[in-house]
């Protein structure tokens, strides 16, 4: 079987010739510091992993006065061209001078200029000051924001070029500057997760209002996916895990909005993987009940999650494909090859039964011993059905 055939068959919860094995995002700093700067696909080839090609490309509707930000020419990791209008403009100011690269990201509208401060190191970027500072800010966003769509032609060009090598994967559109695919997760990036949790008790109507704004923007994007040759699209985010919020908050503020997006995606023949890096066990059925095609990351307890793979397989393995479960922190670093191989076998024995399981690191990593990645891949290739 080709890797694409193997991965697609597993997404359909079927057995294939062997256990599919891949990894989540490959961070540019890892490829630079540990792999002599090879690219993602060279990494997959080197270790004989089943490849994933991340592909993102945005478009706009010129009939509504939208256009690409003319100053946004250099794209970062999994970044798309920003879509602006005369009433939704972007400005980036360099505030560096301390320990980290620091930038103020501003959105200029006729009513108000909104801004956030982002900081970065060689590995990643984080929010130092959130965009939403006043509750009325959501009214400004709702009134003036643009509605990016997918550049179907570009994604299909990438998919045709990639052929049968592996999966073409993307994500549901995120908010400009710093965002993530899920409605709750996007809101948390813009307002701060602590502030958002408090607001679910203090002003739930306000929270629901902006979740609806984000949902409708994402639905607009999803409807543009008709005819695009994606294999899998990511939704969700770690701020919806039970190491961050309660199952009750998940049921009221997360599931109703993201489940709508999953239905919309299925209406245009797209598969969804729901990403929950963190605690999952108390809400396994809640996530599966939103009807995604796959779930990830099944983070082990020793990495800050709570997953018991064998129990998860029994509870939801007949409903969705499971992706992840491997402890990359402990078994890609400072252990023996035999220990890494034993962890692969544990994952296969607990979750691989009857297919429907893709072995993957339970999220991205910034350091890993290549010798242990080689053992990980080799052992998985020898896990036969």
Q: Is position 71 within any domain? A: no
pLDDT of residue 78: 82
Distance (Å) of CA 268 to CA 10, 72, 157, 232, 254:
21, 30, 19, 12, 22
Q: What is the pLDDT of residues 32-51, one digit of tens each?
A: 999 999 999 999 999 999 99
- Give the pLDDT mean for 251-256: 98
CB 379 within 8 A of CB 343: no
**pLDDT, tens digit, 9 for 90 and up, residues 261-282:** 999 999 999 999 999 999 999 9
Percent of the chain clearing pLDDT 90 (strictly above):
96
Please determine, for residue 219, whether its predicted confidence score (pLDDT) is greater than 90. Answer: yes
Position 95 in a domain: no
Whether residue 73 is predicted with pLDDT greater than 90 in this model: the reply is no
Q: Is the pLDDT of residue 189 over 90?
A: yes
The answer to the question of residue 334 being in a domain is yes
What is the mean pLDDT of the segment spanning 189-203?
Answer: 98
- Average pLDDT of 334-350? 97
Q: Label residue 13 by pLDDT band (50, 70, 90).
A: very high
Q: Is residue 152 part of a domain?
A: yes
Average pLDDT, the chain: 96
The CATH number of the domain where 46 resides is what? 3.20.20.210
pLDDT band at residue 380 under the 50/70/90 scheme: very high
The closest of 18, 17, 20, 46 to 34, measured between CA atoms, is 46
Residue 198 lies in a domain: yes
- How many structural domains compose the chain? 1
Q: Does 347 fall in a domain?
A: yes
Structural domain range at position 181: 3-57+147-381
- The verdict on residue 346 lying in a domain is yes
In a domain, 125, yes or no: no
- Binning the chain into helix, strand and coil, the percentages to the nearest 5 are 40, 20, 40
Model pLDDT, residue 353? 87
**pLDDT band of 290, cuts 50, 70, 90:** very high
Of 10, 5, 2, the residue nearest 320 (C-alpha): 10
Q: How confident is the model at residue 363 (pLDDT cuts 50, 70, 90)?
A: confident
Do 115 and 104 contact (CB within 8 A), yes or no?
A: yes
């Amino acid at each position: 079987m080709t890797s694409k055939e193997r991965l697609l068959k597993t997404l359909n919860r079927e057995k294939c010739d062997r256990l599919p094995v891949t990894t989540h995002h490959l961070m540019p700093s890892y490829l630079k510091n540990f792999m002599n700067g090879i690219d993602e696909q060279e990494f997959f080839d080197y270790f004989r992993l089943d490849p994933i090609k991340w592909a993102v490309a945005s478009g706009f509707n010129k009939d509504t006065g939208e256009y690409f930000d003319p100053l946004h020419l250099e794209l970062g990791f999994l970044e798309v061209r920003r879509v602006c209008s005369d009433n939704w403009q972007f400005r980036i100011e360099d505030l560096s001078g301390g320990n980290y690269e620091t930038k103020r990201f501003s959105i200029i509208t006729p009513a108000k200029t909104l801004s956030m401060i982002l900081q970065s190191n060689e590995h990643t970027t984080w929010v130092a000051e959130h965009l939403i500072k006043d509750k009325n800010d959501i009214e400004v966003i709702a009134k003036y924001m643009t509605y990016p769509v997918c550049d179907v032609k570009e994604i299909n060009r990438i998919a045709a070029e990639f052929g049968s090598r592996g999966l073409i994967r993307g994500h549901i559109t995120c908010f400009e500057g710093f965002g993530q695919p899920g409605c709750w997760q996007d809101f948390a990036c813009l307002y701060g997760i602590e502030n958002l949790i408090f607001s679910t008790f203090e002003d739930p109507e306000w929270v629901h209002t902006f979740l609806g704004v984000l949902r409708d923007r994402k639905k607009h994007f999803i409807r543009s996916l008709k005819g695009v040759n994606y294999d899998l699209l990511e939704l969700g985010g770690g701020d919806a895990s039970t190491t961050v919020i309660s199952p009750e908050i998940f049921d009221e503020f997360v599931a109703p909005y993201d489940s709508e997006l999953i239905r919309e995606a299925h209406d245009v023949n797209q598969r969804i993987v729901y990403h929950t890096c963190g605690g999952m066990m108390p809400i396994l059925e809640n996530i599966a009940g939103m009807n995604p095609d796959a779930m990830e990351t099944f983070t082990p307890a020793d990495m800050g999650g709570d997953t018991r793979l064998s129990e998860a397989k029994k509870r939801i393995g007949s409903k969705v494909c499971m992706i992840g479960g491997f402890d990359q922190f402990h078994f890609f670093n400072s252990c023996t090859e035999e220990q890494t191989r034993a962890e692969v076998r544990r994952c296969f024995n607990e979750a691989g039964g009857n297919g429907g399981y893709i072995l993957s690191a339970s999220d991205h990593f910034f350091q890993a011993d290549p010798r242990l990645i080689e053992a990980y891949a080799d052992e998985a290739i020898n896990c036969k059905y």
